Structure 1
Amino acid sequence: MNRLYHFPLSPFSRKVRLTLAEKKIEVELVEERYWEQSQEFLRRNPAGKVPILRMDGRFLPDSLAICEYLEETVPDPALLPGKAEARHEVRRLVAWFDGKFNDEVTSKLLGERVFRKLMSTGYPDSTRVKEGAKAIKFHLDYMAWLLEQRRWLAGDVMTLADFAAASHLSCLDYISDVDWDRSEAVRDWYAKIKSRPAFRSLLADQVSGFPPSRQYADLDF
């Protein structure tokens, strides 16, 4: 059995989970408190990060590298388009959400509200929370601008870019930190991707001490 070492509110783990589910690859989920940096965990990935996929007898770290590996080994359904220009746009947006969005929004909202308590590193930094709450407005507006021109974030078909964005937003929606009324286009996009069978396991996630928001698992949010 394939095995994914993950944490439920890790957007990077969620991107891989969505990719696995969309490609109908069965996997056993193993929750990993990666911040504890156990020796066994570090043997699997010296970088000390989740996710790690155990597949084909190997430990595969790094969310984007895992998704690219799955795309190459299980190409159907495709999550990267065929043309080089279109593939670049997908990769650009994946980097945007896993880099810029994560640094400016996820790490500040989820990091301060949830992970500080989980990791026992003190109280939330209100300045960082305010910065994250301000930055998410810019990112939602950028997504709205993209979706005014396209059916999905990177073009006319759903791609890994949509999974990257939805992974971060779903983590934030878990703690009710997304203003879905800001953009009808973004709300409709999220409702569409949230309704996919691949999303079902994410909507069942529970983190001890942090109950999900009222609308988190509601498809008609």
Structure 2
Amino acid sequence: KLKQSYEYEISFKGLSSSENIWLPRDELIKRGFEKKVLEVDTREAQRLGLLRPLVRREIEKHFADFGLEAEFVSHNTMRGLSGGQKVKIVLGAATWRRPHVICLDEPTNYLDRESLAALIEALKKFEGGVLVITHNRDFSESLCTEVWAMHDGHLEPSGHNWVEGQGSGPRIEKKDGTEEDQYDAMGNKIDAKKNKKLTSSESRKLKKERMARKKRGEDVTDDEL
């Protein structure tokens, strides 16, 4: 490592390692090896991230940020933990290497109200990107400023802040004649059947048919009349 840059070890095919030389980063880029330099930088960054020391004190402190006490971290097996505690273990393990982006699939499962509030607060303070898949509307409204919904192969951008006109950017207007799809707790789409509004002539025609059925002695309910 130089004062303002880095040096890279260069090896040559057919020569021993004693013939290796070191060149500065800028020199290698000038010679057209920028792609190789970036590959080495990426591997080094990944290696440094993977080598975070597994020190008990650091581990307990890390999981304490997720509301998990030290006794559950160091003196318990996974079998003895509750569903909510297991979720905290998974979240803590996923963030142990300090990732730039976190992808969470239904992170609110098994969490009590206090743990859910702590998770929301922690994600708000997280400086990286967060991608959340959830059917918990309260969770998404408390955390997400923008929502990208996929419906029938079409991506529909929206957001609680944008829809309510509270965002700083342009407001995303809802298309006329469209309604938001409804989903049950399992994520299944609820198909709401809409009653077609009849014209006045169609209403009169149906009324005549019902009256004729009544004269013939057929059962006709009051609602039909």
TM bracket, shorter-chain basis: under 0.3
Choose 1 or 2 for highest CA Rg. Answer: 2
Query: Greater strand percent: which structure?
Result: 2
Higher RCO (CA 8 Å, separation ≥ 6 residues): 1
TM-score by length of 2: 0.22
Query: Greater helix percent: which structure?
Result: 1
